[in-house]
């Protein structure tokens, strides 16, 4: 025996929360919508876990960062879902889905049927074991994807004060966690496989600025190498990490941020998969017409670049969720999803945003020396396609976002460099 809903969202993360808000705005009725999540709490703003959550004083805790605090909308607490007649099934994993027959089975053995399914299962952190390194289940080795990981890391931080941490990976998880560890008075060494931090996005000049700042805070960088094994004590706690370059680093705490994989296994063999995600069209609709995919798990057409992409960023999770709900509930009013890729991060007192595509030639602008407001443009085939800005105001971020979307012509790179941020105001 089981229940039936008109709409079911599998996964209860960022995208699910924003989809729920949009459903209520479009007028969902009591008992029509169900969200099933294996996490024990209502959807929350995941980026908080590597930022305010890890602070030593007055750390951010639920319910203050439930969705949709990021959009200055209401905070969707469990009470909100109840008041809006939305069934929130927490701490429950969806074990199988039959996308054709419109049914799924949960870990409690319940069968649930639906008219529309939205897949919002996000991604999981890649484990060291997947790269041949054993022992990452030790209590002082931490990953960071969900609230239980963040609780574990916060506890490990408390017991490592004045000790040594090794951060594996120089992406945004590594950079944000390293900053939080420093603020918690822990000595940090970052181990980067590439030549600099945020290697997929930052230019060497941008990376050098932030790395110099981190080094000024005592952070050491070891680059161009990877972790090969751990040393353990008799309690199976890690005491040191061994690197491929022969270095051995003492460690009271290890934080691993080496990438993610979308959670698509429920749908393999049932839906078309592309670039590691569930392929959707410009309505976020998968190869089965009643099944939609949003957030980290979706590979969608980026209209602006005429390409299929999968994005692992919170802005996309929020906007793709709204678009999918609109496409389901008001198909005739919903046009093609026209999304400008956007990504941001915050560490120490820094805050940056990136819009567009990071391909082509790069022009840097602004005051890299004083580190207040600076950035870079990416120019491809004579058009501005990407913009990075550190320290901008809300208005400046809006301006660069609008300008990047328009892909304005750039005829003179030197002129662009001289005009700097001012260029986007003239577009
Ligand atoms: P999300 O991962 O949020 O939710 C997926 C949910 O589905 C989870 O609750 C999961 O447990 C559940 N689930 C999976 N399989 C299931 C199953 N079979 N049954 C039931 N439930 C299931 N981005 C950015 O742009 N700027 C930033 O600063 C940051 N910072 C940041 C920090 C940290 C610590 C993380 C982990 C991530 C970020 N991000 C970010 C990325 C951003 O958080 C991410 O893109 C969104 O959370 C994606 O939202 P989704 O809803 O797609 O997945």
The pLDDT confidence band at residue 371, using thresholds 50, 70 and 90, is confident
Residue (of 320, 313, 341, 288) closest to 16 by Cα position: 320
In this structure, which residue's CA is closest to atom 31 in ligand 1?
47
Work out the number of other CB atoms within 10 angstroms of the CB of residue 86.
24
For residue 104 the two structure tokens come to 């799924």
Angle at 283 between CA 279 and CA 285, to 5 degrees: 45
**Residue 1 pLDDT > 70, yes or no?**
no
Say if residue 68 is preceded by a cis peptide, omega within 30 of 0: yes
Distance CA(363)–CA(387), nearest Å, equals: 10
Ligand 1 atom with the smallest distance to the CA of 146 is 36
- Ligand 1 centroid distance, CA of 35 (Å): 15
Model pLDDT, residue 343 = 96
Model pLDDT, residue 309 = 98
| 259-285: b (≥16 Cβ within 10 Å) or e | ebebbbebbeebbebbeebbbbebbbb
- Quick one: average pLDDT of 402-426? 95
User: Helix 172-183 crosses helix 147-158 at what angle (to 10 degrees)?
Assistant: 40
Model pLDDT, residue 282 = 98
Model pLDDT, residue 370 = 85
Q: Which residue is it, tokens 């919170």? A: 314
- Quick one: average pLDDT of 326-348? 97
- Ligand 1 centroid distance, CA of 121 (Å): 8
The pLDDT confidence band at residue 267, using thresholds 50, 70 and 90, is very high
- Ligand 1 centroid distance, CA of 122 (Å): 5
Task: Calculate the average pLDDT of the chain.
Answer: 96
In this structure, which residue's CA is closest to atom 37 in ligand 1?
47
How does pLDDT run across 114-135, given as a tens digit for each residue?
999 999 999 999 999 999 999 9
The pLDDT confidence band at residue 188, using thresholds 50, 70 and 90, is very high
CA distances from 87 to 64, 80, 144, 231, 318 (A): 21, 11, 28, 47, 20
How does pLDDT run across 134-155, given as a tens digit for each residue?
999 999 999 999 999 999 999 9
Kindly give the pairing relationship between strand 141-142 and strand 253-256. Answer: parallel
Distance CA(427)–CA(421), nearest Å, equals: 11
For residue 184 the two structure tokens come to 């918690």
- Quick one: average pLDDT of 406-426? 95
Q: What SS3 class is residue 33?
A: strand
**Residue 97 pLDDT > 80, yes or no?**
yes
**Residue 109 pLDDT > 90, yes or no?**
yes
Q: Name residues whose C-beta falls within 8 Å of residue 65's C-beta, 6 or more positions apart in sequence.
A: 44, 45, 48, 52, 53
The pLDDT confidence band at residue 73, using thresholds 50, 70 and 90, is confident
- Quick one: average pLDDT of 16-27? 97
Output the ligand 1 site: residues, CB below 6 A: 10-16, 36-39, 46-47, 49-50, 93-94, 120-123, 144-146, 172-173, 263, 266, 295-297, 312-315, 317, 343-345
User: Helix 172-183 crosses helix 204-216 at what angle (to 10 degrees)?
Assistant: 20
Distance CA(161)–CA(25), nearest Å, equals: 46
Name beta bridge partners: 231.
240
Work out the number of other CB atoms within 10 angstroms of the CB of residue 31.
13
Q: What SS3 class is residue 209?
A: helix
The best mutation among 91, 121, 294, 309 to test binding of ligand 1, ranked by most ligand atoms within 8 Å of the C-beta, falls on 121
- Ligand 1 centroid distance, CA of 246 (Å): 35
**Residue 58 pLDDT > 90, yes or no?**
yes
Q: Residues of the chain with pLDDT > 90: what percent?
A: 96
- Ligand 1 centroid distance, CA of 123 (Å): 6
In this structure, the chain runs to a length of: 427
- Quick one: average pLDDT of 298-323? 97
- Quick one: average pLDDT of 216-220? 98
Ligand 1 atom with the smallest distance to the CA of 107 is 19
Work out the number of other CB atoms within 10 angstroms of the CB of residue 172.
22
CA distances from 263 to 55, 64, 120, 235, 355 (A): 29, 27, 9, 33, 26
299 neighbors 309 (Cβ within 8 angstroms): yes
């Amino acid at each position: 025996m089981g229940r039936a809903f008109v709409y079911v969202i599998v996964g209860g993360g960022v995208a699910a929360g924003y989809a729920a808000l949009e459903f209520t705005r479009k007028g969902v009725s009591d008992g029509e919508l169900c969200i099933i999540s294996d996490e024990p709490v209502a959807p929350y703003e995941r980026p908080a876990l590597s930022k305010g959550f890890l602070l030593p004083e007055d750390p951010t805790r639920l319910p203050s960062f439930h969705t949709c605090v990021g959009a200055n909308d209401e905070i969707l607490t469990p009470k909100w879902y109840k008041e809006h007649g939305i069934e929130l099934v927490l701490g429950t994993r969806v074990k199988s889905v039959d996308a054709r027959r419109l049914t799924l089975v949960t870990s409690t053995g319940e069968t649930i049927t639906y008219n529309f399914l939205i897949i919002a299962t996000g991604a999981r952190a890649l484990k060291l074991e997947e790269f041949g390194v054993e022992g990452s289940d030790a209590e002082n080795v931490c990953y960071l994807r969900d609230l239980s990981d963040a609780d574990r890391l916060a506890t490990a931080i408390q017991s490592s004060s004045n000790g040594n941490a090794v951060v594996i990976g120089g992406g945004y998880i590594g950079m944000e966690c390293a900053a939080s560890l420093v603020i918690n008075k822990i000595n940090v060494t970052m181990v980067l496989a590439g030549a600099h931090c945020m290697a997929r996005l930052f230019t060497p000049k941008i990376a050098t600025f932030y790395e110099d700042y981190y080094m000024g805070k005592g952070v050491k960088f070891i680059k161009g190498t990877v972790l090969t094994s751990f040393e353990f004590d008799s309690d199976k706690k890690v005491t040191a990490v061994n690197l491929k370059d022969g270095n051995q680093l003492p460690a009271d705490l290890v934080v691993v941020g080496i990438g993610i994989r979308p959670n698509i296994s429920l749908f393999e063999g049932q839906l078309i998969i592309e670039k590691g995600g569930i392929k959707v069209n410009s309505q976020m609709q998968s190869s089965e017409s009643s099944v939609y995919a949003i957030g980290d798990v979706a590979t969608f057409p980026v209209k602006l670049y005429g390409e299929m992409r999968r994005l692992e960023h919170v802005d996309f999770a929020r906007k793709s969720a709204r678009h999918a709900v609109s496409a389901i509930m008001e198909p005739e009013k919903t046009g093609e999803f026209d999304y400008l890729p956007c990504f941001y991060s915050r560490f120490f007192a820094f805050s940056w945003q990136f819009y567009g595509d990071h391909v082509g030639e790069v022009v840097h602008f602004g005051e890299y020396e004083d580190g207040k407001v600076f950035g870079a443009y990416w120019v491809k085939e004579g058009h501005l396609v990407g913009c990075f800005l550190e320290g901008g105001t809300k208005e400046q971020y809006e301006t660069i976002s609008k300008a990047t979307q328009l892909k304005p012509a750039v005829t003179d790179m030197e002129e662009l460099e001289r005009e700097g941020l001012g260029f986007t105001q003239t577009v």
